Amino acid sequence: MEKSSLPLPNEAPYYAGAKPARRSRKAAWALVPLAVTAYLFGPSIFRSVAPVSVGGTDLDPWASKSYCAQPDAIFPSEGDDALKKQYEYISSADFWNATVKRISGAVQVKSESFDDLGEIGKDPRWDVFYNFHKYLEATFPLLHEKLKVEKVNTHGLLYTWQGTDEKLKPTLLMAHQDTVPVPPETISAWTYPPWSGAYDGKHVWGRGASDCKNQLIAVMETVELLLEAKFNPKRTIVLSFGMDEECSGRQGAGHLAKFLYNRYGQDGLAVIVDEGSGFEEAWGTLFAKPGTGEKGYTDVHITVRMPGGHSSVPSDHTSIGVVSELITLIEAHQYRTHLEEINPYYTQLHCGAENSPDFPKTLKKLLAKRASGHEAHDSSAINTCKAKPDRLALEAAKQGKDIQYLMQTSQAVDVIIGGIKVNALPERVTVTVNHRINVGETPQIVWDRLTDLAGAVAKKHGLALHAFDGKEEPSSINLAASATTLLVAPVTPADGDPFAIIAGTTRALYGKEVIVAPGIMTGNTDTRYYWNLTKHIFRYGPGYDPEDDKGLAGVHTINEKVSIRNHVNAVRWFTLFVRNMDEVEI
C-alpha cells in the first residue's frame, strides 16, 4: 500500500513494512482526512438553538449555529408487554445478581494476549480462547441457538441476527475477548487475585473487568434479553469480537473486518460501536464523549551498532552511551501542541463554552477568536520553527497531560535491549519509541524528525545512518518503522443521524443534564480495521456510575474492576440503542 494513501477497500489501514521517504511533507499533508467545512456544516437533525456568545464575542460567522446542539432524548416505541418487562428487569435485583455471576465468570477465564504470539494452531497460548468460547456458549444459550455463529481465523467470533428488512444497513457492536497480561511480580499487589472475579458488593474485580469483558458481556446480555422478549429486528444486528486487540488486532479484527467487507461491502454498515471513551465531569458539567476519532500510531525501532571488545579498554562512548544520547535528544524536543478544527476536541471545547458554568474565561475568549476567524490557526508549518504558537491549544493543555495529548503527538521510549556481559562492550543496542500521532499530522512527520535527530548523533560519532531503508551495517544508527503504523483515523461526522441516536439514547438514559460531545481516543481500538465499512464509527463505553467515579478503574494495571451499576447501565443503554436504531431508516 502506498504510504500517502488511505486504506483501500478490504485492506487493513497499516503501512505494513513501508519504507518512509525522506522529507516528503507535501505528500504527508495531503492526508488530512476531512475539510473543516465538511466537518462543521453537514446536514443535521439537531434542533436549532439560539446564538451563542462566548466571552462577550459572538461566534461570528457562525453565531446563528451552535457547535454543540443537543438532541432531545430518544426512546424506542413502547412495543409489547414482553419488551417492557424485559427492560424493567434489567434494573431488578435478580438481573443485578445474575450479571455479577456472568461478569465474574468471564474474568475467571484467562484470555491474555501477548506481543510475541506465534501462529494460531502452533502457539499454544492461543488455546485459552477455546475455553472462553465454551464459557460464552454455556452462559448465553439462546443467543447461540438463534443467531448465526461463525468463527473467523479460528478464534474471532462473529454473530449475526438477521433483520427482516434487507434494505437497512446492519448495526455492528464490538468488543474484544483478550486482556493484557498480568505481570507475575504484580499479583501480590492486587486487592483480590486478578482472575478471581471477586465481588465485593459493588464491584467485580479482575483482569478484563473493565477492558473490556464488561462491554462484551453487556452486548451479549442485551441480545439474549431481546431474544427472550421475542424482539424481531428489522435491521440486522452483528456482533464482532476479536481476540488480540491488546497486541494490535491483526489476527482478530484484521480478519473479521475483511470477512465483513466481503459480505457487506464499502460503507455496508450503518454504524459501529466499539469500546472507548465514556463519561467525564469537566467545568462543572457531566459530558458523555463517544469517540469519533483516534490518533495515529507508529513505533520506531532505533538500533545502534558499534564495535565490541573488552570492557577494560573501552571506547569513549559505547553503543549504550550513544543511544542514551539520542534518547535524551529525542525527549528534549517534544512535538508541537496544536489543535485542528477537525479534531473532535475542538468541538468539545465549544460544548464546554456553551454549556459549562465554570468554563475558563481565557480559554473561552481564545475559542471565540478562533471560531470568528480573528485568530487563524497556522497549520502550514507544523512542528517546525516557522510555526506560530497555537495559543488556544496551549491554553487548553494547561488542564493536564491527558488533555495536552489530545492535541499533540506523543512520544514514549518504552523498550531498550542491549548488553549481555559486564566485561564485554555492547555491539548492538535497540530502543523502541512509541508515538501516537496528532490529528492533522502523519507518521512521516515523526520519521522525518527522528531522521534529523539521529543524523546529528551519527555524524558526531562517525557512524553511518540508515533511516527507514531496511539496511543495517556495523558502526551505524538504523531506524525502522513498525508494521503496525497507522494513519490518524477519519473523523466520524457529529452532525448526522448515527451521532444523534448515540446522543439521544444517552440523554434518554442519563437525563438532559448530560452533554454529549464527540471525543477522541489517544489509544487505538479494533475499529482501526473497519474504516471502509462505515463512516459512522463510535468508540464508546456507555456505562456510567454516578456514585463511583464512572465505575471503572485499573485498566492495564493492578486492581482492575467495574462497578455493577456501571455495567447494568451499559446493558440498559445497548438495549435502548439497538431498538432506536431499528426505528430509523439510515
User: What values do phi and psi take at 401, rounded to 5?
Assistant: -60, -35
Q: Which H or E element spans position 174? A: strand 171-176
The 3 state secondary structure assigned to 131-162 is HHHHHHHHHCHHHHHHCEEEEECCCEEEEEEC
By CB atoms closer than 10 A (0-12, 13-18, 19+), residue 63 is: middle
The reply, when asked if residue 123 is annotated as ligand binding, is no
The residues facing 4 across adjacent strands are none
CA 121 to chain centre: 29
- Cβ-proximal residues to 2 (8 Å cutoff; 6+ apart), any chain: none
Asked whether the bond before 71 is cis by omega within 30 degrees of 0, the reply is no
Clarify whether 245 is annotated catalytic.
yes
Distance in angstroms (rounded) separating the CA atoms of residues 34 and 438: 14
The reply, when asked if residue 246 is annotated as ligand binding, is yes
Catalytic residue among 224, 245, 294, 340: 245
Catalytic residue among 11, 178, 221, 545: 178
Asked whether the bond before 212 is cis by omega within 30 degrees of 0, the reply is yes
The reply, when asked if residue 556 is annotated as ligand binding, is yes
Distance in angstroms (rounded) separating the CA atoms of residues 515 and 348: 10
Distance in angstroms (rounded) separating the CA atoms of residues 410 and 436: 5
The reply, when asked if residue 582 is annotated as ligand binding, is no
Distance in angstroms (rounded) separating the CA atoms of residues 407 and 403: 7
Q: How far is CA 500 from CA 67, 79, 198, 496, in A?
A: 14, 22, 38, 6
CA nearest 276: which of 289, 285, 267? Answer: 289
Q: Are the C-beta atoms of 68 and 347 separated by less than 8 Å?
A: yes
The catalytic site residues sit at 178, 245
Binding residues: 176, 211, 246, 274, 556
Binding residues for Zn(2+): 176, 211, 246, 274, 556
